[in-house]
Chain A
Amino acid sequence: MNMDVELINWIVIIIGQILITIGVFCDFVAALLMIRFPNFYIRLHALTIGSIGGAVVPAVGAALIAIGSPFLGTFRWFLAGGALVVALFIFILGGAGSHAIARATYRAKIVEYRPCYIDQLAEDIGEDGC
């Protein structure tokens, strides 16, 4: 019986570590893109890479690692539950928050993007196009 439980713990930990590796890689790439991208609207993509790939995936991975590591003691279930709640919150709030900021920035015309070829939102609203 003890051998099976040990094996399951190892599998869960390995899966958690794979998720954390993906998350850390996504996070580092998003940080680089956040600096390299030319203007605000393209940086929104870097933000959602950093928040979804860089925060939700490692949070789920950390939850799996917490479940699979009995040396943490009984509080690891609380830790796994809390990590999944944080992952759900970031998953929902990340997109909503960046959408709110993008709408406000567009409406307030804070960012002007020089090579502007077509602006369909402006045409929909009725303002003059690009």
Chain B
Amino acid sequence: MESWVINFLTIAMFFYIASFLLYIVRLLKGPTISDMVLAIDALGYDLAAFLIILSILFRNPILIPCSIVLTLWIYALDIYVAKYLEAKEMSE
């Protein structure tokens, strides 16, 4: 059973890395700031899910708090950029 789970997760990892590269292409190509923020959003949320799969593969629970914090930071990035774009003020 163990090898069945580990092999499946390693195969899933390659698809994740492929979609990360496609997001990075949009990040570099994005004409406007908000396109880049979109790419970072999608990249960050998928990275959080990827960290969970990695923590199963590495048999080490230390990655879970990291993915929770990453999710919150990606949301904070959204709100900061939205505040900056709309009202030209960083939320002091």
Contacts and interface: CB of A to CB of B under 8 A. Distances in A.
Interface of A: 9-10, 13, 17, 20-21, 23-24, 27-28, 30-32, 34-35, 40, 43-44, 46-47, 50-51, 54-56, 58-59, 62-63, 65-66, 69, 71-73, 75, 78-79, 82-83, 85-86, 89-90, 93-94, 96-98, 100-101, 103-105, 107-108, 110-111
Interface string B2-39: 10110011001001101110110110010011110111
5 contacts: A43-B35, A51-B41, A51-B45, A97-B79, A104-B85
Given A35-B25, A93-B72, A104-B34, 12 more contacts: A10-B1, A17-B5, A31-B18, A31-B20, A47-B41, A50-B45, A72-B56, A82-B68, A83-B52, A86-B71, A103-B82, A104-B86
A89 B71 contact: yes
Interface in B35-92: 35, 37-39, 41-42, 45-46, 48-49, 52-53, 55-56, 59, 61, 64-65, 67-68, 71-72, 74-75, 78-79, 81-83, 85-86
A51 B42 contact: yes
A79 B61 contact: yes
Which of A30, A35, A62, A96 gathers most chain B CB within 10 Å? Answer: A62
Contacts of A13: 1, 4-5
The A contact surface, by secondary structure, is helix
Contacts of B38: 34, 40, 43-44, 47, 98, 101
B46 to A, nearest CB: 5
A118 to B, nearest CB: 22
B1 A89 contact: no
Contact of A71 (B1, B18, B64): B1
**Lowest 7 A-B CB distances belong to which pairs?**
A82-B64, A97-B78, A31-B22, A31-B19, A104-B82, A93-B75, A100-B82
Contact of B78 (A58, A71, A73, A98): A98
